[in-house]
Structure 1
Amino acid sequence: MDIQKPRPFRTSDKAHADLFNQVIDQLNTNDESIAQFAAEAEQRSTAYTDKHISKKDNPHGVTKSQVGLGEVINKRQATKDEFDLHHNDQTRHVTEDERNKWNGSQIFNITAENGQAKVYISSEDDYEIVLPQYTGLIHFTAASEATNGPGTAVRGIWTCNALGNYGQVIAFDNANRTYRKTLSAGNWTKWTELVSIESLTNSTWFSPTLQNDWVNYSEFTKVRYTKDATGTVFVEGAISKGKIGFNIPAFVLPKGYRPSRAFQFVGVASQVGMSGVPQHHRLLVDTEGKVVIEYCSNTLNPNEYISLGFSFKSA
């Protein structure tokens, strides 16, 4: 902008209109320059202001502390509506009645704080003395030598009424066997081994040692025996060529596979030499496990074929 001062009047100047016109013209020229500069300044100011407003990167470096937000964390906060919605949601919050109900639902732990057994019954302890000291439900472990125990180391659960005179104990050993013992009016029952379907259907068969010239009739009919979980002994197979008579055992069943009292059994015998006439034999199983072929109706070939297929409860 070019601003010039008007020509001053001198005392030597003669009064003339042109002198005044020069001054007026210069003032008008100055006014025009000032107006143009003002317009340009306003334009530049507007452009700068608009550019400054559009900047979002904190051009002046203002901090949280400078505006009184120094303690505010830089995370999204819940709105008032969101806060009210959470506050009024009764599903998320425990009421006083619910808290009292839950606190009163269990007076004591059924396990130790680490989740293991709460009670250990040592070899010097007696099941029937230790367990009634705990009413309700507890988890325990026990040594195999503990008095009035199932005879093996177990883990189990004891549940009892408030007086400790009615209850039952369920225990499990490492062989996957389950035992039960009950208490009624202060009186204990013996331990009972609980039978599973698997133990009833899965049997291990054994082959006895044949005696007194008896042999297996064939590879497919070898004599064998087993015992299921109910204590029932099964004997099957077929033998041949041995000695028949009283006190002459064909084989002997081991302990645990013997009857509580002697019994006799009648089975099929060979018809060789006596064709067309059904033949039979009679055997005896005594309490010592001896299996004796006492008699055969086939008098021509009595030991040609003796079929075995009987069962009994073990002692």
Structure 2
Amino acid sequence: MDIQKPRRFETSDRAHADIFNEVLDQLNENDELVGQRAEEAEKNAKDYTDHGIKQLKALAQLVKITDDTGVEKLHIQDGDALAQLFDLGAGFHTFAINTAASNRPPGSAGYVRGTFLNCGSDGYGVVIATDTTGTIFTNTINSSEWKGWRTLETESNSQVKADKALLDAKHYVDTNFTNEKLTVLTNVIGDATASGDNYPVGITFMNINNNQTGYPLSYGFLKNEKWSNYRFTQYFYGNANYSGIGSWIRHWYSTSGWTNWEKISGFAHASLTMSGRQGLEKQTTPKIKFNKKVIDSHNAFDTTLNRFTAPNDGVYYVSSGLFLENWETYFNFHLFIYKNGSLYKPIDHYRESTGGGTAREGNEFFINVNGSAVVPLKKGDYIEIFMYVGYDGTKPRAVSDQHPHYNYLDIKEVSGLNFLT
């Protein structure tokens, strides 16, 4: 009911009426003022409330994460749990998954309850959940692809695994590391130039597999005998095939570094001869064709190329001899060792003029040329035998096959340290 204004007094005695009417006018004016101020207060209160709501909305997301009773928003009884979670749309959601549902965490017990932060329809989000045993599971979706459930380790499970690892380690050490056994390094120091200070103290073994960093061979294994950074010797053993036979040694001293590798066993040796007769054309320098192996310890001689290739760095003693068909005229035979296709050293020179000119060319005159030299070789260097052939007349010369034991090439590795230049 609205407030009514009191009526003015109207009497024949106007003087008395004006006295009361003045009071009534003041009351009416006060009522109007009160009403005006009440309207202003109501408007201010509404403006204040609207402003506060706007601030609240700016500071908080007014989205429910549970239902009206406070339990999980989504209760999944069956079907694909992850698909139903994602269908909730963007936001932060609570859920529970029954045991009948699919795509729940593997190995989880009872109901699985948790939260899902869905970052939008483009397919990003994260799930954190726990089962009735307290085991925690996580899953993420990235570009609409679920990455799979992961189980967070519990303290008790971690302790079980730690205890087992300790027992396994103790068993391994007790089984493999005794006074009767040595240590095999599985984390190989693969660079031959690496500091000897990096190696552990003791006697250890390492495998070398297709290594090109400076070991004597690409394949083999190492034995390290280390007392300290100033008492360290390393042995390299090649694999037991033709090209990998041999043992090498070097030493480490912390202030001066590694010594050069020096071979100490498995020295290469080869002995060659020839089958058949090799004709020698006048005024030429042909390669001598040693085409028959007597022995070749490292399979280093190629009979198709008539060439010995060094299987490793070293110093090699080379000796060769030939039995030549000759005639009594002027002749000049010069026997050479070639290294890598070029003259290295002459090892014999036989020049003579018997009877003068070609007067006695009908007389056969067999001769033997032979010699030797020490040749330093790097791995991959090769050796061949050549001979200069000079003579007068028309009778052909040749390496004879009448006495094959006179035709030979012997090569012996005499030092595993290539100290010559």
TM-score in terms of structure 2 length: 0.28
Q: What TM-score results when the alignment is normalised by the length of structure 1?
A: 0.36
More strand by share: 2
Question: Of the two structures, which has the highest relative contact order with CA contacts closer than 8 Å and spacing of 6 or more?
Answer: 2
